[in-house]
C-alpha cells in the first residue's frame, strides 16, 4: 500500500497511529519498522475523498474530529477551540494543579455566598 502524505505533521500522526517508523532513506525496512492497521478505505465526506485508517485493537488513542463551518474563519476558530481543549486535557493529565479561569472562582464564590445567605438572618 502506498499513501502520498505531503505534510510532515500528518506523516508523524500516521506513524503514531499505525506504530510504523518513518524511513528517511529508501531501503528495506526491518519488521520492527512496519506498522499495522485493521482497515484502510477511501470514503467521501462532504464531497471530499479522504483515506480512512482504522486501528481499533492496536491500543492507540488517536481520534479524528471532523469540523464543518460556513467560512474559513469559523473553521479556524473551531480548530483553535478543539486544540485548546485537547492541550488543556493533556496538561491536566500530566499535572493536575490547574487554576480555573474565566471567572470560575468568582462564580463559585457567589454560589456559596448565596447558599450561606439563606442560613443567616437579619
> Domain containing 32 — which CATH number?
3.50.7.10
At 39 the pLDDT is: 82
Same domain, 32 and 73: no
At 107 the pLDDT is: 93
At 22 the pLDDT is: 86
Same domain, 54 and 42: yes
Query: Which residue shows C-alpha cell 519488521?
Result: 31
Same domain, 29 and 81: no
Same domain, 46 and 79: no
At 117 the pLDDT is: 93
> Domain range holding 110?
65-122
Q: What distance in Å separates the CA atoms of residue 59 and residue 41, rounded to the nearest whole number? A: 20
Same domain, 88 and 121: yes
At 37 the pLDDT is: 82
Same domain, 42 and 83: no
Same domain, 26 and 69: no
Same domain, 53 and 80: no
Same domain, 60 and 6: yes
Give the mean pLDDT per block of 10 residues along the chain (122 residues). 81 84 84 83 84 72 74 89 89 81 89 93 78
At 116 the pLDDT is: 94
Q: What distance in Å separates the CA atoms of residue 89 and residue 111, rounded to the nearest whole number? A: 26
Q: Are 20 and 58 in contact (CB under 8 A)?
A: no
Structural domain count of the chain: 2
Q: What distance in Å separates the CA atoms of residue 12 and residue 22, rounded to the nearest whole number? A: 8
Amino acid at each position: 500500500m502506498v499513501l502520498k502524505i505531503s505534510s510532515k505533521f500528518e506523516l508523524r500522526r500516521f506513524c503514531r497511529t499505525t506504530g510504523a517508523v518513518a524511513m528517511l532513506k529508501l531501503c528495506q525496512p526491518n519488521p520492527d519498522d512496519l506498522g499495522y492497521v485493521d482497515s484502510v478505505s477511501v470514503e467521501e465526506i462532504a464531497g471530499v475523498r479522504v483515506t480512512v485508517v482504522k486501528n481499533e485493537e492496536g491500543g492507540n488513542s488517536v481520534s479524528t474530529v471532523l469540523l464543518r463551518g460556513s467560512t474559513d474563519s469559523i473553521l479556524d476558530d473551531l480548530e483553535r477551540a478543539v486544540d485548546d481543549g485537547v492541550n488543556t486535557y493533556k496538561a491536566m493529565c500530566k499535572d493536575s494543579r490547574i487554576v480555573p479561569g474565566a471567572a470560575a472562582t468568582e462564580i463559585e464564590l457567589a454560589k456559596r455566598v448565596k447558599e450561606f445567605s439563606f442560613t443567616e438572618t437579619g
